Structure 1
Amino acid sequence: MNAAYTVIAGKGATNYAIGLSGARIVEAVLRDEGAVLPVSSVLEGYHGISGVALSVPSVVDASGVRRVIEVPLADEERERLRTSAGAIRASLEALGID
C-alpha cells in the first residue's frame, strides 16, 4: 500500500519509471519491434473478459497492440482478474461510459 512512498524515499521520485515505460512503448511502435510489453488495451474474450481495458502482456508493433498474449492463470488468479474487470466496468457504467 505504501510502495510509492518507499520508492520516493529511496529515489526521490517515481516519475522516471513512468517516463521510461512510455518511451519504451513508443520505441516498440516506431521500430515495429513486435515486443512483448504489459500494456492496456480493450480486451475481447481474454479469460472471459470483454469490453474493458486492462494491462496484460501484449505484442506491440507499428500497428499498436498486434495481439494479446493469454497467459495461463490459476483459478483464483482468473477470478481476481475478472473481479478487477468488473470493478472497472462498474466505474465506467457509473460515469455513463459503456
Structure 2
Amino acid sequence: MYAVVNHLHFDRPVEAFRAAVRDEGVPLLARQPGFRDFYLIQEAEDRGIVIILWEDAASAVAGAQSFGPTWFNEHVIPHLASPQQRSTGEVLVSYR
C-alpha cells in the first residue's frame, strides 16, 4: 500500500470544503484504479491534512495525474493560503 499525505493551509475554514470533497472529489478518486481510501482531517480551522491510500506508487502517480490538474486544481488550489506540503511513501505497517 502507498500513501500520499498533503498538508493544506486554506484561505477559508476547512469545513467549507467538506461537502465538495465528499460529494465530488472522493467519488472521482474512487474511480481511479488502485484507489484504497481517503481522509480529510481538520488540523486547525484553516488547515487540513489529506491522506490518500493507494494500492501502489504507480496507482498514486496515475491518480495524481488525473485528479490534480482537474478537480483539485479547480476546487482546492485557488483557496490555498500557502503552498501545499506533500509527502508520499510505502506504508510499512497497517492494522485493521
| Higher helix fraction (1 or 2) | 1
Q: Is TM more than 0.5 here?
A: no
Normalized against structure 2, the TM-score is what?
0.26
Per the normalisation by structure 1, the TM-score is 0.25
Q: Which has the larger radius of gyration?
A: 1
